[in-house]
Chain A
Amino acid sequence: MSTATVPRQSLQTTPATDEQATDLLVDLVATPSVSGHEQRAVEVFAHHAAALGYRAEIDAAGNGLAWRRGSADDKLIVLLGHIDTVPGDIPVRLKNGILHGRGSVDAKGPLCAFLAAASRAELPEGVSLLVAAALGEEAESPGAHHLATQLRPDACFIGEPSGWDGVTLGYKGSVRMRATVTRDNGHSAAPGDSACDYLFGWWRRVEARMGELNEGRTGEFDRIAWSVRGISSENDGLHDVGELMAGYRLPTWIAPEELRVKLRQIDHEGVKLRFVGDERAWRSERNDAVARALTGAIRGEGGRPHPKVKTGTADMNVVGPVWGCPIAAYGPGDSMLDHAPNEHQKIDEYLRSIRVLTRAIESLAQEIR
């Protein structure tokens, strides 16, 4: 049940036409919104939402909100997209039914599909909708963290590209680590390890331990993955310093805090460890109500559903563990184009995803009412 205290509003919106839905996407993609600089895009989102009849707001964190609200006691379905993008100036052009531009896939396509579909959905009494354009998903997810504390929805769609016939059930978790070794400087011909030698020796022990933890696990989603994200060294004549940055992608069976404990249990004398950006893996079951609604809706549009799990992270990692409600991610676009220089969205797929979402929202609303 929702804990938000929003006054009673009209549930009615004007169903977005295909042309309006396309204009919305083009407008939003044409408005740059690199993480930390989303304000103008949030205003564009709110403008389109208000034009469709939503109650449009910008919350204390700066997220854009579009409400179809009946009563504060209603069941609440949240459609949580993100409005920020990674950097990269891709000229915006719509040609031959394909929209090129940064964010067209990740994730303004899914966000705009949410806004258009939620305006079309016919809702039973007792169900309200919120479309949220969250800030900073490509950074530390300040928008989703804020919403996680403000709402308690009954079901949630996460806006990320799954393809029009895909349903994303879960995402791996993530931990980033910085390891630093500082040694007294010595002649390079002298016996003894340099800071980097010492660091690599420790890293080999880490890799061996991660391999042990993965034993018997099959499938990339079910295994810990790790990679070195950067290495540097410096020497001021007195001290030899080596630094290694690594990232870990976590399955559901190990939480970030458990990984940190296991890493500290590995002999790391002389290695200073710092961790940032904990995100826990989250995965819904196949019979999750949102996943089922999407699956049925994809079949209703003539498709064969592709349930999937992803090795990246999304705002599902933030709100999933807090809300504990039915949740799945959906949106048009090929996630191979996430962050890519040729990012583009096919408009026919985008419009098809809106039809899928409209069906899914309506069937879910009937189920949870």
Chain B
Amino acid sequence: MTTTITAACTECDAPITFDRPPLNGQVVRCADCGAELEVTNTDPIRLELAPEVEEDWGE
């Protein structure tokens, strides 16, 4: 039996569904508004708007 876990999008409040227990640092996309959200806590689940990927030079 699988358990579906849900949380609310921090931007539009739409439900975010996890088929498996989320992991810290995991990034998910809200199907409604497209926002990328980072899992910052797993118990209870806390989501934050994920930082954007920056471009940098060098090694």
Contact = CB atoms under 8 A, between A and B. Distances in A.
A286 B59 contact: no
Q: Interface range on chain A: under 10, 10 to 19, 20 to 34, or 35 or more?
A: 35 or more
Contact of B57 (A306, A311, A363, A367): A311
Contacts, number: 77
A367 B56 CA distance: 29
B55 A287 contact: no
Interface string B48-59: 001111111111
**Which interface class (under 10, 10 to 19, 20 to 34, 35 or more) fits B?**
10 to 19
A149 B59 CA distance: 23
A293 B38 CA distance: 12
A336 interface: yes
Contacts of A304: 51
Nearest to B53: A307
B40 interface: yes
A87 to B, nearest CB: 16
A291 B58 contact: no
B59 A296 contact: no
B25 A309 contact: no
A106 B51 contact: no
Contacts of B53: 169, 286, 307-309
Interface of A: 106-107, 137, 160-161, 166, 168-169, 171, 219-221, 286-287, 291-296, 299, 304-314, 335-336, 338, 363, 367
Interface of B: 23-27, 36, 38, 40, 50-59
